[in-house]
Chain A
Amino acid sequence: MNPFVTVWDFFGRLYHRLASPREFYKISRFTTPVFGLLFLLLTAAGTYLGLFVAPADYQQGDSFRIIYVHVPSAWLSLFIYMVMATAGAIGLIWRMKMAYVVVICSAPIGAAFTALALITGSLWGAPIWGTWWEWDARLTSELILLFLYLGAMALYYAFDDRKTGERATAVLAVVGVVIVPIIHYSVEWWSSLHQGATVFRAGGPAMPSSMLTPLLLMALGFTFFYGYCLFLRAQNMVLHNERNSRWVKDLINELE
């Protein structure tokens, strides 16, 4: 048997199972606590290594350690928007219910990570740059991303009809994805106060592994936290959206 076909087949089946609200609910009852546990383990390890093991920076001293919250938050703010755009496109093209749920449930989590990246960046900028805020390309484009997230949330709830709201939000998610490359390349395309990329750059990361390892652990931990929050929110939304269906009623009867 061709192993590639088997793996492909597995993901194909998983995709189709996740497409069904009922199957999604069953799977997420299992995956949500797993994601939560992985988040706790990875961020605990990352926090310990980042605060106590990684050496201080030669010019920023200990204040550089805010990187372990700032950079993972900023990465997640971009990653979550890309997930939303992909899910939005799937929803619009294949009219898949669960894709819309992913778009709408991701928006507040993405907004929170964007806000965290902006706030920690501001706290970092004050002592190191000498300013809380500057209208340079990186900071401004990240702020626009926050408004896109807030706009997506507002748009969904602006419609009385759920289906219209889902579609409008999916369109915004797809269209807004142009901001992602702009944010990433803002420090290369234009002069800015924000420095260039440290990790994803030609020639490899510009920091030793003792500083990089905790950063990657935190980033992975934050990603599982996103998964955890997304699945929890999606469970609620699925139950709400499908509240008139047989399986949800059965579920409620079981509880009572």
Chain B
Amino acid sequence: MSPTQKRRFTIVAIILLGVGLATFLALRAFQENIEYFLTPKQVAAGEFEPGQRYRVAGLVRKGSVSTLDDGVTHRFNVTDCKFDVTVQYTGILPDLFREGQAIVANGAFSDTQTMIAAQVLAKHDENYVPNEAADAMMLAQANACDDATDSVSY
């Protein structure tokens, strides 16, 4: 490289480093705002303001799903296998909704443990499995918390 090219190379490298550093710091500063949801662990630790809207994500706790007398209001627990949040939602649940499935509930907390959700989304994982193994997969999914001793990620 000629001296001019070396100089230009240095300038390009410095600009790239500077922009990278600035972006890193900006993303660090906005860390909490970029997070899409709270985990049940964060809810248990009280990391929310009452009355504000949040999203909570977790697995649908086995045996926790019930429908109230009006027929359209559902109550269930989302869990990380250690901490639970109760979600109450009036409306149609997503097709993928079932025990052990990760879901995202969007709403406000009525007390420290219960969220009144305005929206429930399904959050599927990165695994793709052929249809013929469906029964085994669904069973494993429903029992995901059986052997868990600590909070799981999803």
Q: Does A2 touch B at the CB level, under 8 Å?
A: no
A129 interfacial contact with B, CB 8 Å = yes
CA distance A177 to B27 in the complex (A): 15
Taking a contact as CB atoms closer than 8 A, the residue among A58, A67, A129 that contacts B137 in the complex is: A58
- Candidates B8, B23, B57, B128; contact of A206 at CB < 8 Å: B128
B27 and A193 contact, CB distance less than 8 A: no
B31: chain A residues within 8 A (beta carbon): 190
Is the CB–CB distance between B34 and A137 below 8 Å? yes
From B64-72, B108-116, B118-126, give the one contacting chain A. B118-126
**Distance of A86 Cα from B72 Cα, bound (Å):** 55
Q: Within the complex, what minimum Cβ distance (angstroms) separates B134 from chain A? A: 4
Q: How far is the CB of A6 from chain B (nearest CB, A)?
A: 24
The proximity string for B residues 110-154 relative to A, scoring 1 for CB distances below 8 Å and 0 otherwise, is 000000000111111111111111100110000000000000000
Known: A92-B12, A129-B94, A193-B36. A58 touches B23 (CB 8 A): no
What is the CB-to-nearest-CB distance from A89 to chain B, in angstroms, rounded to a whole number? Answer: 5
Asked if B127 and A131 make an inter-chain contact with CB atoms under 8 angstroms apart, the answer reads no
User: Considering the complex, which residues of chain A in the window 160-180 have a beta carbon less than 8 Å from any beta carbon of chain B?
Assistant: 171, 174-175, 177-178
CA distance A58 to B36 in the complex (A): 26
- Contact: A58 with B95, CB < 8 Å? no
Residues of B within 8 A of A192 (CB): 36
The answer to whether B19 and A193 have CB atoms under 8 Å apart is: no
Give the CA-CA distance A236 to B127 in the complex, in Å: 44
Measured CB to CB, the residues of B under 8 A from A are: 1, 5, 8-9, 12, 15-16, 19-20, 23, 27, 31, 34-37, 39, 57, 94-96, 104, 119-134, 137-138
Other A-B contacts than A56-B131, A208-B130, 9 sampled, CB-CB below 8 A, are A55-B132, A59-B124, A93-B9, A128-B124, A129-B94, A191-B39, A195-B126, A197-B126, A206-B126
